[in-house]
Amino acid sequence: MEQKSVHKRFLDGLLAGDRLACSAIINSLVKDKTRINDIYESVIKTALYELGELWERGEISVASEHMASAIVESILNELYSKIISKSRINNTVVASSVENEVHQIGIKMVADIFEIHGWNVHFLGANTPVNELIKFIEIVNPKIVALSISIYFHIHSLESMIERIKTHFPDILIIIGGQGLLHSQEDITSKYPNTLYYPDLYKLEDFISRLENNG
């Protein structure tokens, strides 16, 4: 896969609002048996990060950014039935964005990687109220809770959510990630036990594989 040219074409499609072109690019990669991690990391994630930089520089509008996000979410939904494992193992994960975080594409990708490995995944999406998250964890009793933030200003919401989870479920494993943690992940992981940070889907998948190998 020529990653630079593919992600550039995908970005151009997002900027043009061309859902059909973007979908065709991704479906072509799937047909060519490109690994889902490569599609997510090198094409979709890279294009979205560049799109975010364009928005920060004022070169595109909020409407364009929202349109691009909607296209990507529709493509992820298209892929779902093609990539998930039909078999299931006896492991459960709850995947959610933190409270006040409206972005959910990153945590959806995380949820998909767990599903590929046969986990039972409860994807809660964006802006999950912490009280509702606590209630849900109590109901489904997951092995892991995965949390994501895209904006650094939500770091306090993340810490508050971790503290609440640890109060009710002190031994539960929490995984954190997202662009908002690029410069502060060590502060979080050193502060809260059983809390791990993974910067990309490759390292997340390595972790999942180690868990499976260790039983």
Residue 215 confidence (pLDDT): 60
pLDDT in tens, 79-136: 988 888 888 889 999 999 999 999 999 999 999 999 999 999 999 999 999 999 999 9
Residue 39 confidence (pLDDT): 95
Using the structure block, give the residue that is written with the tokens 């930089």.
Answer: 53
CATH code for the structural domain at 92-213: 3.40.50.280
Residue 202: band (very low, low, confident or very high) from pLDDT cuts 50, 70, 90: very high
pLDDT in tens, 38-66: 999 999 999 998 998 898 899 999 999 99
- Comparing 33 with 185, the larger pLDDT belongs to 33
Residue 181: band (very low, low, confident or very high) from pLDDT cuts 50, 70, 90: confident
Q: What is the mean pLDDT of residues 143-151?
A: 94
pLDDT in tens, 12-32: 999 999 999 999 999 999 999
Residue 4 confidence (pLDDT): 64
Residue 3: band (very low, low, confident or very high) from pLDDT cuts 50, 70, 90: low
Burial category of 207 from C-beta neighbours within 10 Å (exposed 0-12, middle 13-18, buried 19 and up):
middle
Residue ranges matching CATH 1.10.1240.10 in the chain = 3-83
CATH code for the structural domain at 3-83: 1.10.1240.10
SS3 labels along 31-51:
HCCCCHHHHHHHHHHHHHHHH
The answer on pLDDT for 204 being more than 90 is yes
Residue ranges matching CATH 3.40.50.280 in the chain = 92-213
